[in-house]
Amino acid sequence: MKSELSFYHICGTKFKNMSKLKIKGNDLKLAGVPSGPLAGLAVAIAKKHFRSEEYDRFLTDLALVTKTPEKFVDNIVWETYANKLVSHQIIEEEKKEISLNENAAPYKIWGANDIEAGALNQMDIASHLPITHSGALMADAHQGYGLPIGGVLGVENAVIPYGVGMDIGCRMCLSVFPIAPSFFKSDSSNLKVMLKENSRFGKHVFDDPDGDHEILERAEFNDTKILRQLKDKAYKQLGSSGSGNHFVEFGITDITDPTNEMGLAVGTYFSLLTHSGSRGFGAKIAQHYTKVAMSKTLLPKQAKHLAWLSLDSEAGMEYWIAMNLAGDYASACHHDIHKRMAISLGEQPLAMVENHHNFAWKEKAADGTELIVHRKGATPAGKGVLGIIPGSMTAPGFIVRGKGSAVSLNSASHGAGRKMSRTKAKNSFTKKELRQLLGKEGVTLIGGGLDEAPGAYKNIHDVMNAQIDLVDVLGTFHPKIVRMDK
């Protein structure tokens, strides 16, 4: 094959009175021409610019252009074919399945003996992604989609929608009030009413939400079509909570560390704790960009839910903007709930602590590498960072201060973690057994189901003991009146 096109065809000279060419399909195939429209275009070029006696020259030039089309995008004869071939190659490249790395990126596991095999396998798969730098698996881990719940994954210049999760920005929020815990005994009936009147779950949203919240004025709602479409849903669900394991509950906080950053004296306080995320707003964002990622990043079957979006891509930046807006929206929902409760209680909180999970952050690894750290069901635990790790409706939650462990990517567990699926829990406990347990522990439940029975969860004390190198405990929260969906 000659290294360059014939002089006449480089200059774009057209021959008159050409004899009719007969193009053989196998010759096009040997020249590397993809079947379909590109083959038809090659035939059209041959008939327009080449005489029958130049058939061999045509095939030689065709093979050269097909091999390096980017060199001929401005050639008069070949520009249309070359440009279409470049576009075709880009599309085909995107369709190629990406292989996993042979060697795993480093990651450490906390509480491995109590983590199911499915979650361990999911973390191992994630560690073989070509974008993975490092990771960690928390003691409350259990199987999910893509990255396991309790999985932490640091990747380079990319974001994994399913590595964040469906409930973007799901978070905990604790308000500590200047009210004696004895208030539970003296006014428990009114507290139940407060919970019922000031909380909504699942699809039950407020008829007249506080539409003046600044989150709804954010400019990002105008940045993309999907955010514009979802603004009305965000408005309607503002201040509500999700179903499943989400809750609004009153309880007792015991502050045990006098050096706590909350400014609270050691002692016992009446408190409000909430757990929820970005509602249908975040779920729709997750669904949309997961589909986009899976269409652009083709991975082996076992890793397909870990499809990522490059942060250099338009879709990647769109998701990043939407994810951050959803995280702030989740926070706004909690603040709205806590504001209504404070008004009903007639008191302002002495302190508030909140943290979110199901999110991705831009952080630096110990070696200085810039990472996108995904915490899917994991609590940020950078040095000095406060957070809340809940137990169950009969087990205490813990107010913690992060120790900044580099090997855990500055993370800790986000709760006790499930040890049973929802189906198994429903088949393992009875309503009578649940009522008896709640009565024994002095806990009142409004709503909720057997799928959230305390026995469906791991022992929170075992989980906390497994991560003493990740967090310091500043105090505990004991649920007393729990409001859930149903």
Based on the structure, what is the number of domains in the chain?
Answer: 2
- Residue ending a domain, among 95, 127, 148, is 95
Answer yes or no: is pLDDT of 424 > 60. yes
Q: Which of 18-27, 51-60, 120-129, 243-252 has the lowest mean pLDDT?
A: 18-27
- Give the tens place of pLDDT for each residue, 334-381: 999 999 999 999 999 999 999 999 999 999 999 999 999 999 999 999
Residue 434, helix vs strand vs coil: helix
Nearest by Cα to 276 from 248, 252, 236, 237: 248
SS3 (DSSP) at 354: strand
Q: Which amino acid is at 162?
A: Y
Cα angle 148-149-155, degrees, rounded to a multiple of 5: 60
Categorize the per-residue pLDDT at 204 as very low, low, confident or very high, splitting at 50, 70 and 90: low
SS3 273: strand
Asked if residue 179 and residue 79 are part of one domain, the reply reads no
Domain boundary at 95, 117, 148, which?
Answer: 95
DSSP string, 360-414: EEEEE-TTS-EEEEEEETEEE--TT-EEEE--BTTB-EEEEEE---GGGTSEEES
388, 475: one domain: yes
As a whole-number percent, the residues of the chain with pLDDT over 90 amount to: 78
Same structural domain, 204 and 320: yes
Residue 12: pLDDT band (50, 70, 90) is very low
Residue 25 pLDDT level (bands cut at 50, 70, 90): confident
Structure tokens at 302: 């076992």
Is residue 130 in a domain?
Answer: no
Helices (H), 142-246: 161-164, 183-197, 225-237
pLDDT of residue 205: 65
Within this chain, do residues 187 and 296 fall inside the same structural domain, yes or no? yes
Residues 61-76, mean pLDDT to the nearest whole number: 92
Is the pLDDT assigned to residue 208 strictly greater than 70? no
Q: How large is the angle between the packed helices 37-49 and 79-95, nearest 10 degrees?
A: 160
Residues 253-282 have a mean pLDDT of 96
Residue 181 has pLDDT above 50, yes or no: yes
Residue 146 lies in a domain: no
pLDDT of residue 429: 94
The verdict on 308 and 408 lying in the same domain is: yes
Does 114 fall in a domain?
Answer: no
- Kind of pairing, strands 370-376 and 149-155? antiparallel
The predicted model gives 296-311 an average pLDDT of 95
Q: What is the DSSP letter of 243?
A: S
What is the domain extent for residue 241?
Answer: 163-354+379-483
**283 & 421 share domain:** yes
| Mean pLDDT, residues 161-182 | 96
Residue 179 placed within a domain = yes
Amino acid at 475: G
The amino acid that residue 351 corresponds to is A
pLDDT of residue 10: 47
pLDDT higher than threshold 90 for residue 247:
yes
For the cut 70, the answer to whether the pLDDT of residue 17 exceeds it is no
> What angle, rounded to 10 degrees, do the helices at 225-237 and 279-296 form?
150
What pLDDT band is residue 203 in, cutting at 50, 70 and 90? low
| Residue pair 370/394 in contact by the 8 Å Cβ criterion | no
User: For position 91, what pLDDT does the model report?
Assistant: 72
Q: Which residue has the higher pLDDT, 264 or 4?
A: 264
Provide the percentage of residues in the chain whose pLDDT is more than 70. Answer: 93
Are residues 89 and 216 both part of a single domain? no
pLDDT at residue 469 is higher than 70: yes
Judged by DSSP in three states, 448 sits in coil
Residue 145: inside a domain: no
What is the structure's pLDDT at 7? 39
Contact (CB, 8 A) for 355 and 172? yes
Within-domain flag for 226? yes
Mean pLDDT of the chain: 91
Helices 314-345 + 225-237 axis angle, to 10: 10
CA distance 136 to 408: 5
Give pLDDT, residue 11.
43
Asked whether residue 295 falls in the same domain as residue 414, the answer is yes
Cα–Cα distance measured from residue 469 to residue 108, given in angstroms and rounded to the nearest whole number: 13
DSSP 26-73: HHHHHTTPPSSHHHHHHHHHHHHH--GGGHHHHHHHHHHHHHSGGGGT
